[in-house]
Amino acid sequence: MASKLLRAVILGPPGSGKGTVCQRIAQNFGLQHLSSGHFLRENIKASTEVGEMAKQYIEKSLLVPDHVITRLMMSELENRRGQHWLLDGFPRTLGQAEALNKICEVDLVISLNIPFETLKDRLSRRWIHPPSGRVYNLDFNPPHVHGIDDVTGEPLVQQEDDKPEAVAARLRQYKDVAKPVIELYKSRGVLHQFSGTETNKIWPYVYTLFSNKITPIQSKEAY
């Protein structure tokens, strides 16, 4: 097995099970799971310069622009030069993908294709704890007490954009923005697409793909 560092990216619409797949990849293969949403929350909490810039957009319910997200992620990646990593939520746009390409070569890109009806059902069952970003699903990852965060005991909320009428718009937006990113990685021969309605059925294929690139630290049953 080559000792080259593995650089991987996961793409998928909201509700596609990206978070679950990322956790399993991190546990099984020892990759650092680098989530743009997590870094954004951390920077806003710490009032860093980039956090303050992002906050101005979020408070107005606007998308954080490419240059802010790119700057945030570039500094995080700079700190992790010697690690295997898996990017989640970045690159979201072609501009971000091109910026990433300037600093490193991506070896492996996973794209999750989940039917619209499945996404709609999953998102309508999704509740979150805004301060931490913890996500619960009433079907396969419910909180111990309904409506309450397991760790802090604070109330959970359902986001406006997880409500069915908003899901269709989000999915359309995701597809429009992700299409050129997917095409870029496809043309480079690093894209692997997985389709299905259940994460547990997609997972063995993802596991096999990663096993061909990096030695597992534990068996695939470990989830």
Q: Is 7 annotated as a binding residue?
A: no
Q: Is 41 annotated as a binding residue?
A: yes
The token pair that represents 143 in the structure block: 């909180």
Q: Is 205 annotated as a binding residue?
A: no
Q: Is 15 annotated as a binding residue?
A: yes
CA dist., res. 49 & res. 72, Å (int): 10
Q: Is 89 annotated as a binding residue?
A: yes
Q: Is 64 annotated as a binding residue?
A: yes
Q: Is 208 annotated as a binding residue?
A: no
Q: Is 18 annotated as a binding residue?
A: yes
Q: Is 172 annotated as a binding residue?
A: no
Q: Is 126 annotated as a binding residue?
A: yes
Of the candidates 17, 4, 183, 187, the one whose C-alpha atom is nearest the C-alpha of residue 115 is 17
CA dist., res. 159 & res. 58, Å (int): 14
CA dist., res. 204 & res. 14, Å (int): 21
Q: Is 118 annotated as a binding residue?
A: no
11, 13, 16, 20: CA torsion to nearest 10:
50
Q: Is 158 annotated as a binding residue?
A: no
Q: Is 17 annotated as a binding residue?
A: yes
Residue ranges of the annotated binding site for a ribonucleoside 5'-triphosphate are: 15-20, 126, 135-136, 199
Residue ranges of the annotated binding site for AMP are: 36, 41, 62-64, 89-92, 96, 170
Residue ranges of the annotated binding site are: 15-20, 36, 41, 62-64, 89-92, 96, 126, 135-136, 170, 199
